[in-house]
Amino acid sequence: MKKVAVILSGCGVYDGAEIHESVLTLLALERAGASYKCFAPNINQLHVVNHLTGEVDENDTRNVLTEAARITRGAIEDVKSLNVNEFDILMLPGGFGAAKNLCTFAIEGENSQVNQDVLTVCKAFADANKVAGYACIAPAIIPTVYPNGVKLTIGNDADTAKAIEAMGGSHIVTSVEEVVEDERYKVFSTPAYMLANNILGAATSIDNLVNRILK
């Protein structure tokens, strides 16, 4: 049985982990016969968004780990405790939290910095030559983890792709159901809600990614 470490970035598409993508990832892993354990950084979110209005609540502060625990029914640990030797595969669903809390891509674009604890884990998997899967906007982290020229996709958004190219990534334009594999570095990516128009499209994208990384 493959053991998968899943890193979440909060709870909620606009300021944390995309809930559909997160749940679909866990469901796809279990259906495919893999086991998983969830992690998140124990830090404050960049900001808190009212998901009904789309407005930032300037008076609210939330913790990424605490919020992500909502998705996992409390079964989650600080990413600092993640031991790469205990897992075969790393998986990062998307949501704006991946670009706001796990790294600074949403604010700084090509000058993005990855949270140090998250970067340590991602690099540990890369250095151990273990498989990793990134969905939605989470692939924006890939160029910081892997050497220049690493292949990845976020779909077809031109401005996002340009920033990723400036960071050293080799962006491949894809449709929602496609998965890009960098065979050299064993890293996989798919657009999910960067392109999906509904939960079915996101599910297809996530299912395809999970099936590829488990091979």
Residue pair 4/29 in contact by the 8 Å Cβ criterion: yes
* Residues 6+ positions from 2 with CB-CB distance below 8 Å: 33, 34, 35, 88, 89, 214
* Closest of 213, 190, 212, 206 to residue 28, by C-alpha: 206
From the candidates 11, 103, 122, 136, which is the catalytic residue?
136
All residues at 6 or more sequence positions from 118 whose CB lies less than 8 Å from its CB, including other chains: 7, 41, 79, 102, 103, 141
By DSSP bridging, strand 89-92 and strand 76-78 are: unpaired
Is 11 a known active-site residue? no
Of 194, 181, 198, 144, the residue nearest 166 (C-alpha):
144
Give the CA count within 13 Å in the CB-facing half-sphere of 201.
12
Please identify every residue annotated as catalytic.
136
